[in-house]
Structure formats: C-alpha cells, structure tokens
Amino acid sequence: MASRFVDRAVIQVAAGDGGNGCASVHREKFKPLGGPDGGNGGSGGDVLLVVDPGVHTLLDFHFRPHAKAGNGKQGQGGHRAGSAGETLELKVPEGTVVLTEGGDVLADLTGPGTTFIAAQGGRGGLGNAALASRARKAPGFALLGEPGESRSLVLELRSVADVGLVGFPSAGKSSLISVLSAARPKIADYPFTTLAPNLGVVTAGETVFTMADVPGLIPGASEGKGLGLDFLRHIERCAVLVHVVDCATYEPGRDPLSDVDALENELARYTPALGGELADRPRVVVLNKVDVPEAAELAEMVRTELEARGLPVFEVSTATRQGLRELTFALGAVVEKYRAEQPTPAAERIVLRPQAVDDNGFSVEADPHEPGGFVVRGNRPERWIRQTNFGNDEAVGYLADRLNRLGVEEELARMGAEPGCPVTIGDMTFDWQPSTPGVATYLAGRGTDVRLENTSRVSAAERKEARRVRRDGVPETDDDE
C-alpha cells in the first residue's frame, strides 16, 4: 500500500505548565525555625518544530494533531528546585510554513535543523526562600507556576524546488520528470494521476537543480477547484515555471495557446502567502509529445506566436527523448541566472531594544463593561496575577506591594478610581482599596508568618530573668517603693 501524502495539517500545541514554588521552613534538632528553605518550581517544557531531512510529509500531524510538552515539577523543602518539564520536538519536512488560523505567516522553515518555538513553556514559581527579604524574613507563601502557552497552528508544506512543472492533467509532467531525473512518479493515461508532489534532482553540466512535478491544473484552480490550491502552494518557491503543453490532446476546445493562456490566468490570480507574485517568475514553454506527427505539426504552428510573447519554447518527446538535452541545459542556465540575481542573505543580527525610561510596563483604562471600573493591562501585572495564590492573605499582600511599587495604585488614583471600584487585571476582578507602601490597611496577617508568631520558645530576656531569680531568690517587680 502506497504511503499517503499530506501537505496541510491543523495542530493544537500546548506547552508545559510551570511548577509551583514551595513554602517551607527549615527544621532540625535545636533549630525548630531555621528560616525559609522552599525551592523554586521547574519551568514547563516548550513545543518546538524542527526541520528534519528524513521527513517528507505532514502525515503524522494528520493523525495526531494534539501535542503537549511536559509540566515542570513543584519545588520542595531543603532548597530543592523542581525539575523542568521535558521539551517536545516535532519533526517537520523542509519547506513547512507555520501560519495562524487567520492565515498570518509565523515562520518559514527551510534548512535542516531550523527550529521554531510553537508554544512557550510557563515559568516556574518562586519558593519562599527566594522571596525572603529584610521586610519579610520568613514568607509563609510561594508563587504559583504559570500556565504554558496553548494555541492552534496551521502547517502547510511548500515544496523546495528550483523548477516547477505547470500544466493540465495528463500533459506529460510526470513523464518529463521521470526521464530528466531519478524520480519515479506514477504515470497513467487518466487525469489527476499525480495527487502528491514529486521532486527530482536534475544535472545540467555543473549545474544541479531540483524539479517539482505537482498535481495538474484546471481553470478555477486559484479558487480551489480540482487540486488547484494543492498545486499552486508547491510552486511558490520555484525560480522557474515550465508550462508543459500537450500537443497531442484530443479534447475539444483545447490547443497549446489556449492552454498557456489558461495557465497564466490562474497563476496571475493566485497570491502566494510567502510574498511576491508568480507572474514575475521566468517562464519556459515545453511543447510535449511531438513524436506524434499531428502534434509536431501543431507545435510548429504555435511556436512562432509563443516566441513572439517572449517565451522560450522547446519541442520535446519523453518517448523518444527528443529535445530533452537542450531543455535541461536551458533550465540550468535560467536557474543559475535567478540564483545570481538573488540578494546575499544578511547575517543574523542580535537586536537590543532597551525599554524607554518613561515606560512603566502597564496601562490603565476605563472598563467598557463595568461602569466606574478600570482594567490594568501589561505583561508584568498579568503575570503576577497568575502567580498569586489568592487563598493566602500574605500572598495577596505581596501582590499588592508589587503592584504598588510598579505604580499601579498611583495611576489608578490619577485616573479617578474611587475606593471600592472594580479593577480587573488578567482574569481577576477585585474591589480596589488604596494602601500605603509596605503597610496593610485592608488585609489581616499581611507580611507575617503565623508559625513564627505562635511559638512557645523561651526568649533570651526570659532566660536572663530566670537566672536572676535563681541567684537572688526574689523576682523583680515594677514597684517604685
């Protein structure tokens, strides 16, 4: 059974979630409260698309469209960080184009080893050891891990070839590539024998180029009729387009000139997703099957008019191999000229974009759905919301401190926010209550650790007083007599 060729697939990729940080206090003999020692959570794994020369189709994604990377592990006590999630690498063929569901091109993957991050893993949360400071010596909370990125992507395979064979079904494209290269496509005397692109390597002297034989073209292909879009997608990268015309067809209403006009019309109406226009590519016309006497006479009649249009014309026969050598070297010369005209690829540069001094990293605007409410947007505030455990008062207080230091409260006040008005950050909506930096006015237990407060451990002052009583036998009083 022949393998199935798939050149378009829609996949659902989900990166791994970051692991939660750990809230732990070091305990050992004679050191019941040895300070915070909770480790950080591990980062979630990424989903990567990697070009593999051994892969030639998107068939695997057709049957398994869902891909999920590994989650990061949670941090543990004893300053033990959680392990990072396993990165998932998805192998794709060379020439794969990654698009959004709306059709925007995200990446054009050419060259072995080329990598694209399809989904970014979530950050791991910080443990309470990393959150300790002079003001909060023993945090009783840790940050949550961030969820990994999840999205839908469209993968389309566009063949990487120098020469594309364009023609009606059964025009002889498969026969032509079979005699010019080592490719062995299926050949039969019925339309649409070729359902998948075939690539062949052709040698013309010192020039080596690739040739693509793609599904046949019919009028209306640029609108999706027949296999048109599947056909046109695979010639976007071609440097030269070869019109293969059947001069021995017996179909009514068809002749070489009308075939070329129909092909040119479809090429002009198709807009490549990778940019450029197919109408700007060099053209070569191949009048095929001239081993048939009637076809040879017809080719001789139309040759002059085609050359008057500025098109190079070659009369060939794949059966007798007439004209194939001249065609091969002519295509090699056109490919070499096209390659020489292409600009030299610029070396990849590292671009640094420093943040503006007046950019605070967030914006505050009126809530269009909640009268009197406000919406805070920005990467940092929204990330902090995702990292906060709202079941822990101290964690909520830490979030309020961070937002206050960033300037969110000041901006809300400037925008006219009143105490108690709804404020939305990310997926969380809460009633805003202004506070002073570092001081809790609306939360109980902010910046404290109950385990450190509720302890029966004897203090140094109490031990000193006990020694004095044992020595003097009289407890100290506050009387002024």
- pLDDT by position in tens, the chain (length 481): 344 456 778 999 999 999 999 999 888 887 777 889 999 999 999 999 999 888 877 888 888 999 999 999 999 998 999 999 999 999 998 888 898 888 888 988 888 888 999 999 999 999 999 999 887 888 889 999 999 999 999 998 877 778 888 877 777 777 888 888 765 654 544 344 444 567 777 888 888 888 877 765 555 444 444 444 556 667 777 888 888 888 877 666 677 888 788 878 777 777 665 455 666 778 888 888 888 888 888 888 888 888 888 888 888 888 888 888 888 898 888 888 888 887 766 655 667 777 666 566 788 899 888 888 999 998 889 999 999 998 888 888 888 888 888 888 888 888 888 888 899 998 889 888 876 443 334 344 444 544 445 556 677 788 888 888 888 876 656 554 4
Residue 89's pLDDT is 95
Distance CA 306, CA 290 (A): 16
On whether the CB atoms of residues 81 and 72 are closer than 8 A, the answer is no
* Residues shown for the chain: 481
Burial status of residue 453 (CB atoms within 10 A of its CB: 0-12, 13-18, 19 or more)? exposed
Q: Does the annotation list 395 as a binding residue? A: no
Distance CA 42, CA 236 (A): 43
Same domain, 315 and 202: yes
261 in a structural domain: yes
Q: Does the annotation list 68 as a binding residue? A: no
Same domain, 71 and 57: yes
Q: Does the annotation list 170 as a binding residue? A: yes
Same domain, 241 and 195: yes
Q: Does the annotation list 32 as a binding residue? A: no
User: 133: domain CATH number?
Assistant: 2.70.210.12
Task: Tell me how crowded residue 9 is: count the other CB atoms within 10 A of its CB.
Answer: 21
On whether the CB atoms of residues 212 and 159 are closer than 8 A, the answer is yes
> Phi/psi at 323 (nearest 5 deg)?
75, 0
Same domain, 86 and 168: no
Task: Tell me how crowded residue 343 is: count the other CB atoms within 10 A of its CB.
Answer: 5
Distance CA 149, CA 88 (A): 13
- Nearest CA to 71 out of 33, 41, 94 is that of 41
Same domain, 293 and 437: no
Residue 442's pLDDT is 39
When divided into structural domains, the chain yields a total of: 3
Residue 204's pLDDT is 83
SS3 118: strand
Residue 286's pLDDT is 86
User: 282: domain CATH number?
Assistant: 3.40.50.300
Same domain, 102 and 214: no
> Phi/psi at 237 (nearest 5 deg)?
-90, -10
On whether the CB atoms of residues 412 and 423 are closer than 8 A, the answer is yes
Same domain, 4 and 146: yes
Domain C-terminal end among 134, 157, 180: 157
> Phi/psi at 365 (nearest 5 deg)?
-140, 160
212 in a structural domain: yes
410 in a structural domain: yes
Q: Does the annotation list 192 as a binding residue? A: yes
Same domain, 1 and 143: yes
Radius of gyration over every alpha carbon of the chain, rounded to an integer in angstroms: 36
User: 382: domain CATH number?
Assistant: 3.30.300.350
Q: Does the annotation list 169 as a binding residue? A: yes
Residue 216's pLDDT is 56
Token representation of residue 214: 């793609």
Direct distance between the N- and C-terminal alpha carbons of the chain, in angstroms, rounded to an integer: 110
> What residues form DSSP beta bridges with 387?
none
On whether the CB atoms of residues 246 and 288 are closer than 8 A, the answer is yes
Question: Cα–Cα–Cα angle for 136, 82, 35, nearest 5°?
Answer: 30
Q: Does the annotation list 318 as a binding residue? A: yes
Same domain, 271 and 392: no
34 in a structural domain: yes
Q: Does the annotation list 290 as a binding residue? A: yes
Q: Does the annotation list 194 as a binding residue? A: yes
121 in a structural domain: yes
On whether the CB atoms of residues 214 and 165 are closer than 8 A, the answer is yes
Distance CA 456, CA 237 (A): 77
Q: Does the annotation list 217 as a binding residue? A: no
Same domain, 324 and 408: no
Q: Does the annotation list 464 as a binding residue? A: no
Q: Does the annotation list 176 as a binding residue? A: no
Q: Does the annotation list 354 as a binding residue? A: no
Q: Does the annotation list 214 as a binding residue? A: yes
- Nearest CA to 400 out of 370, 378, 365, 433 is that of 433
On whether the CB atoms of residues 97 and 158 are closer than 8 A, the answer is yes
453 in a structural domain: no
SS3 229: helix
Q: Does the annotation list 5 as a binding residue? A: no
> How is 2-41 classified by DSSP, letter by letter?
PPPP--EEEEEEEPPPPPPP---B--BTTBTT--B-PPPP
Q: Does the annotation list 3 as a binding residue? A: no
Q: Does the annotation list 477 as a binding residue? A: no
Burial status of residue 66 (CB atoms within 10 A of its CB: 0-12, 13-18, 19 or more)? exposed
Q: Does the annotation list 390 as a binding residue? A: no
Q: Does the annotation list 316 as a binding residue? A: no
Domain C-terminal end among 133, 157, 181: 157
Domain extent, residue 380, equals: 363-448
Same domain, 315 and 411: no
SS3 202: strand
Unique residue bearing structure tokens 């309020």: 400
Distance CA 32, CA 316 (A): 92
460 in a structural domain: no
Unique residue bearing structure tokens 């040698």: 203
Residue 194's pLDDT is 44
Same domain, 167 and 153: no
Residue 11's pLDDT is 93
Q: Does the annotation list 319 as a binding residue? A: yes
On whether the CB atoms of residues 230 and 7 are closer than 8 A, the answer is yes
Task: Report CA dihedral (203, 204, 207, 211) to the nearest 10 degrees.
Answer: -50
Token representation of residue 478: 């506050």
Domain C-terminal end among 310, 341, 372: 341
Distance CA 316, CA 300 (A): 12
421 in a structural domain: yes
